[in-house]
């Protein structure tokens, strides 16, 4: 809402005061409007940062809180994990969002076989064929009985080509 005001003030400041010369210094109201816009941006950024760090009670960054079938690849290093309840108290049927990122020293073929087996135990099945891009290989999984979808992505670790970065994430029924 303040953005149109700031834009209007900026335009007003650019139209000079007599002659063809534009004012070179901003007015006090322009400076305070720009400062207010900056403060709003900073507080919105801080709010988003707080949400990302898991201080929300419906958010967890602990691997132990992920469903049993979303587990780290054996002997891998967990880089991040999160589960966010995407529902409110009134509607428990909305999905949860899950994410697990690990660094593993393994081939994509072995990683996909592991997750196909583990996710299969929870009634997930591959949805389509493996897709390859320049930087990653991807397999989608869909639950047999509901709309839960998980995506397993394997990419080369840019820091160490011998490792793979594995991401398992998606929406699951709660």
Domain layout of the chain by residue ranges: 2-52, 59-172
Angle 25-41-10 (CA atoms, 0-180°, nearest 5)? 25
Residues 21-49: tens digit of each pLDDT? 444 455 554 444 444 444 343 433 334 43
Joined tokens for residue 40:
């709003």
Two structure tokens written together for 9:
């003030």
Burial class (CB in 10 A: 0-12, 13-18, 19+), 28: exposed
The confidence score (pLDDT) of residue 45 equals 37
Q: State the pTM of this model.
A: 0.64
What's the rounded mean pLDDT across residues 116-135?
Answer: 94
Most confident option among 3-17, 28-42, 84-98, 108-122 = 108-122
C-alpha span between 114 and 109 (Å, rounded)? 9
What is the C-alpha to C-alpha distance for residues 111 and 117, in angstroms, rounded to an integer?
10
Element (H, E) at 156: strand 149-156
Choose the CATH number for 59-172 among 1.20.1280, 1.25.40, 3.40.1000, 3.40.50: 3.40.1000
């Amino acid at each position: 809402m303040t953005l149109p005001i700031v834009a209007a003030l900026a335009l007003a400041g650019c139209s000079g005061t007599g002659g063809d010369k534009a004012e070179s210094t901003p007015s006090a109201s322009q400076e305070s409007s720009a400062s207010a816009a900056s403060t709003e941006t900073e507080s919105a950024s801080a709010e988003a940062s707080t949400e990302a760090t898991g201080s929300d009670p419906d958010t967890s960054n602990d691997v132990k809180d992920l469903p049993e079938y979303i587990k780290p690849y054996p002997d891998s290093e967990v880089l991040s994990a999160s589960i966010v309840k995407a529902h409110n108290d009134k509607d428990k049927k909305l999905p949860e969002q899950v994410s697990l990122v690990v660094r593993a020293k393994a081939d994509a073929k072995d990683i996909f076989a592991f997750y196909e087996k583990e996710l299969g135990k929870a009634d997930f099945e591959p949805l389509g064929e493996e897709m390859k891009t320049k930087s990653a290989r991807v397999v989608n999984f869909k639950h047999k009985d509901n709309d839960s979808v998980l995506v397993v992505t394997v990419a080369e670790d840019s820091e160490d080509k011998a490792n793979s970065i594995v991401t398992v994430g998606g929406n699951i029924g709660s």
